[in-house]
Amino acid sequence: MNDQLEKKTLKGSGGHVVANITPQEIKNGGVAGVDIFLGAVGRIEEKRILQYFCKKCNKEFDGTPKIKYEKLNEEVAKGHTLSEQGAYICKQCESIIAQYKTFAEQDEKSHDYVPYQATYEQEGFVAIRKLLGMDVYDNKAVLVGTIKDIGLIDKKSKIVVLISTTENTEKEIPWDVITSIGDVVLINTKEQMLNASSNDECKKCGFYNSNDSKFCEQCGTSLE
């Protein structure tokens, strides 16, 4: 097992940690190419964490930050549950290094919750049900919201993602704002998401429309 571990730096919104992680954890956290997101990896055994950096302290510390977590059984979609959420916290200033959530899927026969696994294996294939409740991060590892729902605008076959933002608002964004999907969803910047949901936004119903739309695709109101 130890032969398979690799020393990696994992990014968080408030710093980073350096830890020995497994190939599966590298795969889970590698939603941004060369970067590995701590929030996408989840809880790592403390003995595998070598050091961490806190942005607020602007200092690197040996050993592990505090890891606070709670076990949950909160259903976020039919057959899917938020099983655990937690945070990596600086021992010196108590600021958050990174936050994470772990989701599971209910086994229909046993009714036990097991980690989600796709039933169809194909490179590039993403099951919509996997994304519900998933956290959305920007390229600086800052949490910007959670996916609440995903729908299809049948007139133009356009996929729209409904985000519950950290500002307690809801934003509809086009699918192409998303740059990568792993155990979290990555967008380029938070501003990109907010701008995408405000450009061509219908003043009557608030729906986000395609750039070339002259009328709202949801309610038909003129956008000019």
Q: What is the pLDDT of residues 163-174, one digit of tens each?
A: 888 888 888 777
More confident site: 192 or 37: 37
**pLDDT over 70 (residue 185):** yes
CATH number at residue 116: 2.30.30.240
Tokens for 36?
């590995």
Looking at mean pLDDT, say which of 42-46, 72-76, 123-127, 132-136 comes out highest: 42-46
More confident site: 120 or 78: 78
Q: What is the pLDDT of residue 90?
A: 96
Q: What is the pLDDT of residue 111?
A: 45
Q: Per the domain annotation, does 103 fall within a domain? A: yes
Count how many domains the chain has: 1
Q: Per the domain annotation, does 204 fall within a domain? A: no
Q: Per the domain annotation, does 207 fall within a domain? A: no
Tens digits of residue pLDDT in 90-99:
999 999 998 8
Domain that holds residue 112: 2-198
Band of residue 110 on the pLDDT scale cut at 50, 70, 90: very low
Q: Per the domain annotation, does 221 fall within a domain? A: no
Q: What is the pLDDT of residue 73?
A: 77
Place of tokens 């039919």: 78
Distance CA 211, CA 78 (A): 34
Q: Per the domain annotation, does 210 fall within a domain? A: no
Q: Per the domain annotation, does 112 fall within a domain? A: yes
Range 12-35 average pLDDT: 81
Q: Per the domain annotation, does 110 fall within a domain? A: yes
